[in-house]
Homo-oligomer: A and B are copies of this chain.
Amino acid sequence: MAITVVGSVAYDSIETPAGRRERCLGGAATYFSLAASYFTDVRVIAVVGEDFGAEQEAVFQARNIDTRGIERAEGKSFFWEGSYLNNLNEAITHNTELNVFASFSPKIPDAYRDSEFLFLANIDPVLQRRVREAMPGVRMVAGDTMNYWIRDHRAALLEVLKGLDVLLVNDTETRMLAGNNNLVRAARGVLSLGPHTLVVKHGEYGATAFFSNRSFNARGEGVGPHPFRAPALPLEEVVDPTGAGDSFAGGFFGYLASQREVTPAVFRRAMFYGSVMGSFAVERFGTERLQELTRKEIDDRFILFRELTHLD
């Protein structure tokens, strides 16, 4: 089933211990949709400037991603410049230019309206909510956010959380959102704000899903009170961590959308596919690695993740 994703399509200038790249194609919606495209149909809602040309468009086309919802506006695309020189787990932002994103007003093509899955990538919660409300027929909604919205736009964000099935955030964001330093208690606090399920991304340590009583209740099944933890791959070289979290989300949600129903077993496999796509994303700069994967490479790595964690 098709996923519609709303979020940023952008240019990134990135410096890591492995080198520097100027104006790579990036943005949360880009990473998400490339990762998800290996599992299901993906439709993007975003805005880009006049600097977004045929070369960038071709990256989406090559993965059969529907770009009819990518609006072309006068001006320049969203631009981010950052580095990870001392700590691959945390970017230092040197420059953010919202450009055409500053006045982004998401427009949903009619052709997207039968999407059964909706992903609200990290953007202004006011826009997330607007897209959510414009697509009342979706079966499952997942979303991301960041410290800035949690701290300074809390009221708007809380409205978004009420409409989410799954929230994907990192450890710090989980603690900030709940105002509790203990991850388990913070997770419970976040679940009380709306999402049925919370996926906490731990960077190089993988990700943990926490479930409320309402997780999976469509089938009357649950995975019980216990969380589920997917590993990350211990990698010899992380070339560029940019987009790892969005690629996790894409693998995770793409796999969920590809399955007939979301059972606890399907959910667990989705967590693994999320980690798999995150592990590929960081192997090269920008979206390079995500552009040229094969399903066999993905499934081989899935098996590797199983070997990494399973007793037998």
Chain A residues with CB under 8 Å of chain B are: 182-185, 187, 202, 204-206, 208, 210, 223-224, 226-229, 231, 234-238, 265, 268-269, 272, 304, 306-312
Contact = CB atoms under 8 A, between A and B. Distances in A.
A213 to B, nearest CB: 17
Most B Cβ at <10 Å: residue of A185, A272, A306, A308: A308
A75 to B, nearest CB: 40
Contacts of A234: 183-184, 187, 208, 210, 227, 229
A223 B204 CA distance: 21
A183 B237 CA distance: 9
B182 A229 contact: no
Contact of A311 (B183, B208, B310): B310
B265 A185 contact: no
A208 B204 CA distance: 12
Contact of A231 (B183, B204, B229): B229
Contacts of A206: 205, 229
B183 A229 contact: no
A185 B306 contact: no
Given A185-B236, A206-B229, A309-B310, 7 more contacts: A183-B204, A184-B234, A228-B307, A229-B309, A265-B312, A306-B311, A310-B311
A210 B187 CA distance: 31
9 contacts: A182-B235, A182-B237, A206-B229, A210-B234, A224-B307, A226-B304, A227-B308, A228-B307, A268-B311
B312 A309 contact: no
Q: Which 7 A-B residue pairs are closest in the complex by CB-CB distance?
A: A205-B205, A184-B236, A229-B231, A184-B234, A309-B309, A268-B311, A227-B234
Contacts of A202: 205
A50 to B, nearest CB: 40
A311 B270 CA distance: 10
A227 B234 CA distance: 8
B310 A235 contact: no
Nearest to A310: B310
The CB with the most chain B CB atoms within 10 A, among A228, A237, A269, is that of A228
Contacts of A182: 235-238
A54 to B, nearest CB: 38
Interface hub of A206, A231, A235, A269 (most chain B Cβ within 10 A) = A231
